[in-house]
């Protein structure tokens, strides 16, 4: 992790539509700013796997690139399951 990289400061659970659970990840930037990212169940699972986390608290201190990669991987998996017709 570089000193110029945002890191996960806190992680909590939140309620989403239709009773789904979201993982709420607070990123802290080197400038001191913070941003909350809501992760759907698939992205949450990917993030836990990428970080090698056994529980959500294990994510604290991980770099934001894991969040980015988890979202990307989840969307790629979803796209491959539900391909769009050619436009």
pLDDT of residue 18: 78
Band of the pLDDT at 84, cuts 50, 70, 90?
low
The tens digit of pLDDT for each residue in 64-75 reads 999 999 999 988
**Separation of first and last alpha carbons in the chain:** 41
Q: pLDDT above 70 covers what percent of the chain?
A: 85
CB contact at 8 A, 56 and 11? yes
d(CA 65, CA 7): 9
Q: For residue 86, is pLDDT > 60?
A: no
Number of residues in the chain: 87
- How is residue 54 annotated by DSSP? S
pLDDT of residue 28: 98
Task: Specify the pTM.
Answer: 0.81
d(CA 44, CA 17): 16
Both tokens assigned to 85: 């017709």
């Amino acid at each position: 992790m570089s000193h110029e990289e945002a890191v996960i400061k806190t992680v909590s659970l939140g309620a989403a539509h239709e009773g789904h659970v979201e993982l709420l990840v607070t990123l802290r930037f080197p400038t001191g700013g913070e941003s909350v990212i809501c992760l759907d169940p698939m992205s949450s699972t990917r993030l836990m796997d990428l970080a090698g986390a056994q529980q959500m608290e294990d994510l604290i201190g991980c770099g934001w690139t894991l969040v980015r990669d988890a979202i990307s991987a989840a969307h790629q998996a979803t796209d491959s399951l539900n391909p769009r017709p050619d436009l």
